[in-house]
C-alpha cells in the first residue's frame, strides 16, 4: 500500500471509525474504575490507565497484523469480524465486573487489564483494516487516543443520541471483513477476475450484517416491551 494514496487514507479512515465507535467501552471502564478516587487523582488514572491500555493494544494489534500474513488467517479473521460487526448491533454490554478501586495504581491496573480483555474485537478490526501496514495501526491509534481520552463522554452521548452511529461502525467493520475475505490468497484470484462478484459480495455482506442486526435488535425490543 502506497503512503498517502486513496487506499491509504480510506484504510486510515476505517481505523478511526472503528476506534471511535468502540471507544465507549474505554470510557466506561475508565469511569467505573476511577469513580471512587479523589478528583485530583482521577485525571492521573485517566491518563496513565489509557497510556497503558493503548501500549498493550498497539502491541497486540501489531502481532495480529503479522499473524494475518499466515495463509488462511485472513479468511478466519474476516469471518470473526462478521460476527463482531453483528454483535456490535445486538449485544448489550455488561460492565458489572468492573469494580471501583480505592487506590491510584489499583485503578490504573484495572483499566489496563479490563481494556486488554475487552479490546480483542477492536484489535482484530483495526488489524484487518490496516491491510498489513504497521504505520496505519500506530497512526490510527495515535490520532484516536486523544479523542477517546478527552472526548469519550461526548462519544457516548453521540451514540446515545444518534443510535445510527452504531450502524456506521458495524458497516465499516463488515466492509473490513469483506476486504479480508476477498484478499485471502486462496480465493483472491476469483474476486480479482470478476469485479462484479467482488463488489456484489461486499455489498451483500454489509447489508446482510446490518439487516440481521436490526431485525435481532427489533425482536429483542419487542420481547422486552
pLDDT tens, residue by residue, 110-144:
667 666 665 666 777 778 888 778 888 777 777 66
The pLDDT-based confidence of 14 (bands split at 50, 70, 90) is confident
Angstrom CA distances, 117 to 72, 110, 160, 216, stand at 25, 11, 24, 26
Q: Does residue 91 belong to any structural domain of this protein?
A: yes
Q: How many domains does the chain have?
A: 1
pLDDT category of residue 204 using cuts at 50, 70 and 90: very high
Residue 196 has pLDDT above 90, yes or no: yes
Looking at residue 5, what DSSP letter applies? S
Q: Is position 120 within any domain?
A: yes
Q: What percent of the chain is modeled with pLDDT above 70?
A: 67
Task: Please state, rounded to an integer, the average pLDDT across all residues of the chain.
Answer: 76
| Residue 43 covered by a domain | yes
Q: What is the pLDDT of residues 140-195, one digit of tens each?
A: 777 666 666 665 556 556 666 777 777 887 888 888 889 889 988 888 888 988 98
**What pLDDT is attached to residue 217?**
80
CA dist 131 and 13 (Å) reads 13
Q: Residue 1 domain-assigned?
A: no
pLDDT, residue 57, reads 75
Range of the domain at 39: 6-224
Residues 46-71: tens digit of each pLDDT: 777 777 777 877 788 788 888 888 88
Average pLDDT for residues 1-16, to the nearest whole number? 76
Query: Has residue 85 been placed in a domain?
Result: yes
**Are residues 20 and 79 in contact, defined by beta-carbon separation less than 8 angstroms?**
no
Question: For 71-111, what is each residue's pLDDT tens digit?
Answer: 888 888 888 889 888 887 886 655 454 555 456 677 777 66
Residues 6+ apart with CB under 8 A from 131: 1, 7, 11, 179, 183
Tell which residue, 127, 128, 95, 133, has the closest CA to residue 111: 95
Amino acid at each position: 500500500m502506497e503512503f498517502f494514496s486513496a487506499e491509504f487514507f480510506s484504510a486510515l479512515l476505517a481505523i478511526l471509525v472503528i476506534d471511535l465507535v468502540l471507544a465507549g467501552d474505554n470510557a466506561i471502564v475508565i469511569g467505573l474504575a476511577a469513580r471512587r478516587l479523589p478528583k485530583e487523582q482521577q485525571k492521573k488514572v485517566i491518563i496513565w490507565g489509557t497510556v497503558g491500555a493503548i501500549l498493550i493494544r498497539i502491541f497486540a494489534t501489531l502481532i495480529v497484523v503479522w499473524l494475518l500474513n499466515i495463509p488462511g488467517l485472513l479468511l478466519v479473521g474476516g469471518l470473526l469480524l462478521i460476527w463482531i460487526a453483528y454483535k456490535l448491533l445486538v449485544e448489550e454490554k455488561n460492565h458489572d465486573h468492573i469494580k471501583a478501586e480505592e487506590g491510584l495504581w489499583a485503578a490504573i491496573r484495572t483499566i489496563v487489564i479490563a481494556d486488554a480483555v475487552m479490546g480483542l474485537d477492536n484489535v482484530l478490526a483495526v488489524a484487518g483494516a490496516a491491510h498489513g501496514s504497521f504505520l496505519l495501526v500506530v497512526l490510527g491509534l495515535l490520532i484516536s487516543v486523544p479523542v477517546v481520552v478527552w472526548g469519550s463522554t461526548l462519544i457516548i452521548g453521540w451514540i446515545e443520541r444518534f443510535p445510527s452511529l452504531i450502524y456506521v461502525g458495524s458497516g465499516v467493520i463488515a466492509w473490513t471483513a469483506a476486504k479480508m475475505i476477498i484478499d485471502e490468497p486462496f480465493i483472491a484470484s476469483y474476486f480479482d477476475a470478476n469485479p462484479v462478484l467482488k463488489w456484489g459480495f461486499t455489498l451483500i455482506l454489509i447489508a446482510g450484517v446490518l439487516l440481521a442486526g436490526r431485525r435481532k435488535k427489533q425482536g429483542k425490543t419487542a420481547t422486552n416491551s
